[in-house]
Amino acid sequence: MANVVIATSNAHKVEEYKALMADDSIELQSLLDYPGFPDVEENGTTFTENASIKAIAASKYCDAPAFADDSGLEVFALNGEPGIYSARYAPTDPERIAKLLKNLEGKEDRSARFVCVIAIAFNGEIIETFEGEIRGTIGFEPKGSNGFGYDPVFIPEGETRTFAELSSEEKNRISHRANAFRKAAEFVEEQLAALNAF
């Protein structure tokens, strides 16, 4: 069975990937299966650079094809903040949300988007990167308890509920990660089909 590593230790993300990756012929591992994996400094200046840094490091350490994502929330009225600093915006999720709501006080434009870039690496080299997004708006107070991160204040386009009020199936159908993942999965299928043609 082919072994693929998802370069994350975030249990929520692992679950989202497992739900997305329906292929039984691939055994999905994550960094939770590699407790010795050293901390990698995400010192890139874009989502793509940070995803690539993680994918390259994981493909070398785990000696397997590695998927890594870097994702975050871009709020237009805040010039794209928190962006690549989404995880580091404040110490905890509730504090990050509180800071975001405070910074948006008095701003009319509450539009935002979640972005996810997935990088695939093998033998320490990037094979390809894929970007997915979901547009929406930032609510005025946190609502819902599903998901993680900024989910309680993000209302996707066409919805009245926040991501944290959607079921995980509903979020997985439309999320930035799902959109990037669909592109990555299509690419992997094309590559496998090309290999099988020989």
Q: Is 70 a catalytic residue?
A: yes
- Taking CB under 6 A as the rule, which mask of x and - marks residues 106-145 in contact with ligand IMP? --------x-------------------------------
- Taking CB under 6 A as the rule, which mask of x and - marks residues 17-56 in contact with ligand IMP? ----------------------------------------
Q: Which is nearer to ligand IMP, 139 or 149 (CB)?
A: 149
* DSSP code of residue 37: P
Near ligand IMP by CB under 6 A: residue from 151, 155, 166, 178: 151
Which residue in 23, 33, 39, 70 is the catalytic one?
70
Angle between helices 176-196 and 11-20 (to 10 degrees): 50
Near ligand IMP by CB under 6 A: residue from 65, 136, 139, 149: 149
Q: Which is nearer to ligand IMP, 70 or 165 (CB)?
A: 70
Determine the 3-state secondary structure of 163 from DSSP.
helix
Near ligand IMP by CB under 6 A: residue from 53, 59, 67, 70: 70
**What is the spatial order of strands in the sheet that 125-138 belongs to?**
26-30, 2-6, 66-75, 111-122, 125-138, 154-156
Query: Which residues, 6 or more positions from 56, have their beta carbon under 8 angstroms from its beta carbon?
Result: 66, 119, 121, 124, 125, 126
In the numeric block, the tokens 């089909």 are attached to 193
Amino acid letter at 190? E
Active-site residues, by number, are 70
